[in-house]
Amino acid sequence: GAGVSQSPRYKVTKRGQDVALRCDPISGHVSLYWYRQALGQGPEFLTYFNYEAQQDKSGLPNDRFSAERPEGSISTLTIQRTEQRDSAMYRCASSLASNSYEQYFGPGTRLTVT
């Protein structure tokens, strides 16, 4: 079966542009997480969805970051007016249910803001 997929895998954008990062979770997985990972660091929690409901967005750094999962499947993380400090690996993970601790991670999107 297919794992978690993310697109694009690499994104280079100019400062000030908006970017949208897509996550396609494992089919049937209820829970979806977004993380940001800087080089040499562990994943940093950004936001959590249970079906289409965004139940925790406490990790989003500021209001330039938003996420949605309108039909409870595919999710999009949007960064508006990108800044160089937004450059990082953005990872998506899904799990079967809200009480499933095992998360399946996607390969990530490497975002570079120039």
Which residues of this protein are in contact with other proteins, per CB under 8 A? 4, 31, 33, 35, 40-45, 48, 50, 55-56, 58-59, 91, 93, 98, 101-108
> Considering the complex, what minimum distance in angstroms separates the CB of residue 97 from other proteins?
11
Distance of CA 72 to the CA centre of its chain: 14
Of the pair 4, 113, the CB lying nearest other proteins is at 4
> What is the residue whose two structure tokens read 């979806």?
32
| Cα–Cα distances in angstroms (integers) from residue 86 to residues 12, 38, 79, in the given order | 11, 10, 8
> Considering the complex, what minimum distance in angstroms separates the CB of residue 15 from other proteins?
27
Of the pair 5, 76, the CB lying nearest other proteins is at 5
Which SS3 state, helix, strand or coil, does residue 39 take?
coil
DSSP code of residue 69: -
Of the pair 66, 104, the CB lying nearest other proteins is at 104
